[in-house]
Amino acid sequence: MKLNQLYYFKCVCKHSNITKAAEELHISQPAITRSIHDLEEELGVTLFTRTNKNVSLTNEGKLFLYRSSEILSNLDSLTDEMRDLGYLRRTSIRIGVPPTIGTLILPRLPIIAAEQFQLELEISELSSYDALTAIENDNLDFTICLLGDQEYPMLEYYVLKDTSLCFCTNINHPLAKEKQIKIEQLADEKIIFFYPGELMQQTFERHSVTPKYILKSNQMLTICNYLAANLASTLQFPEAFAHYPQITAVPLSDNIPLPICLIKKKGKRLAKGASQLYHYIGTHSEDLFTPTLKTDHSLSL
């Protein structure tokens, strides 16, 4: 008796039809018919009674379905358990990080992961939206990204740092010395759209302002160079430009919180090392972040 015979038998029982079972299993109908015939020959019993189009279980077939289903269920559980053991011993972790946050935590995070937890990080550069989608689809172990004001019932998270959306520009820009800025003041400004930028777009739309976008990009270095050269400005949380003394951040009068969060799927079982790193990040976030961008506005974010 072979395992594939049990799977074929169970699928035929599910459909009461050999043709439909063959379609689901992506094998030929004669292959299933031959497999069932060989199984009946080996067992010395008839498992099905045949009609023109369908099959139905005999009493012996019903007993065999009950007992073989137990075997297949136990086999599936054993396979899952062994895969879990392999997963729990993984030494690589899949993490998604937006480019704006990557500038803050890299290279600190890989060093901490390697030196303290003997882990190798597989880091994907994704927008916050794409990172959250990847978490929900189990394509990442966890992410460090911006979390908006939407509800995310499938996620659990630590807030690592409270920050907010600001007008980020060159220190020599005419608006750089303002205490606060209203979105309406930016109607004539040259703005870089931080792709995908849903929050930025919603902010302008809420105030009925149509900005003059000169560039749409998710390339952090390119955007920083534009701001540093005083060629354009953008809306972003100020820590994103902490390494650029030529760039300053002015608070918006319409305060828009942007918490930076450590996020994983609710109930997801992480590998041992990944779980240790996850909880370490959640309780030692100060070890990851560079100092906040200092401005003349005494920003405290």
Whether 246 shows a pLDDT value over 90: the answer reads: yes
CATH number at residue 239: 3.40.190.290
* pLDDT 10s digits, 175-219: 999 999 999 999 999 999 987 777 888 899 999 999 898 898 888
76 domain-assigned: no
pLDDT band at 81; cut points 50, 70, 90: confident
Residues 232 and 116 in one domain: no
135 domain-assigned: yes
300 domain-assigned: no
152 domain-assigned: yes
Whether 173 shows a pLDDT value over 80: the answer reads: yes
Residues 119 and 143 in one domain: yes
Residues 176 and 248 in one domain: yes
Residues 180 and 232 in one domain: yes
Mean pLDDT of 266-286: 87
Residues 232 and 94 in one domain: no
Whether 17 shows a pLDDT value over 70: the answer reads: yes
Residues 110 and 227 in one domain: no
pLDDT at 84: 63
Residues 139 and 284 in one domain: yes
Residues 252 and 283 in one domain: no
**Angstrom distances, CA of residue 262 to CA of 30, 86, 160, 208:** 53, 25, 7, 33
112 domain-assigned: yes
CATH number at residue 273: 3.40.190.10
* pLDDT 10s digits, 278-301: 999 999 888 777 554 444 433 332
Crossing angle between the packed helical segments 108-117 and 272-283, to the nearest 10 degrees: 130
248 or 107, greater pLDDT: 248
For 266, the domain range is 90-160+260-288
Residues 176 and 202 in one domain: yes
Give the number of domains in the chain.
3
Residues 48 and 121 in one domain: no
CATH number at residue 17: 1.10.10.10
301 domain-assigned: no
Instruction: Please give the model's pTM, rounded to 2 decimal places.
Output: 0.63
pLDDT at 297: 38
pLDDT at 7: 92
Whether 46 shows a pLDDT value over 80: the answer reads: yes
The edge-to-edge listing of strands for the beta sheet with 120-125 is 120-125, 92-97, 142-146, 260-265, 155-161
Residues 266 and 232 in one domain: no
* pLDDT 10s digits, 142-160: 999 988 777 788 899 989 9
Quote the mean pLDDT of the chain: 87
140 domain-assigned: yes
Give the percent of the chain with pLDDT over 90.
Answer: 55
Mean pLDDT of 91-115: 88
SS (H, E, C) the chain: CCHHHHHHHHHHHHHCCHHHHHHHHCCCHHHHHHHHHHHHHHHCCCCEEECCCCEEECHHHHHHHHHHHHHHHHHHHHHHHHHHHHHHCCCEEEEEECHHHHHHHCCHHHHHHHHHHCCEEEEEECCHHHHHHHHHCCCCCEEEEECCCCCCCCEEEEEEECCECEEEEECCCCCCCCCCECHHHHCCCEEEEECCCHHHHHHHHHCCCCCEEEEEECCHHHHHHHHHCCCCEEEECHHHHCCCCCEEEEEECCCCECCEEEEEECCCCCCHHHHHHHHHHHHCHHHCCCCCCCCCCCCCC
pLDDT at 142: 94
99 or 296, greater pLDDT: 99
pLDDT at 90: 66
Residues 238 and 194 in one domain: yes
Whether 1 shows a pLDDT value over 90: the answer reads: no
* pLDDT 10s digits, 214-244: 898 888 899 999 999 999 999 999 988 988 9
82 domain-assigned: no
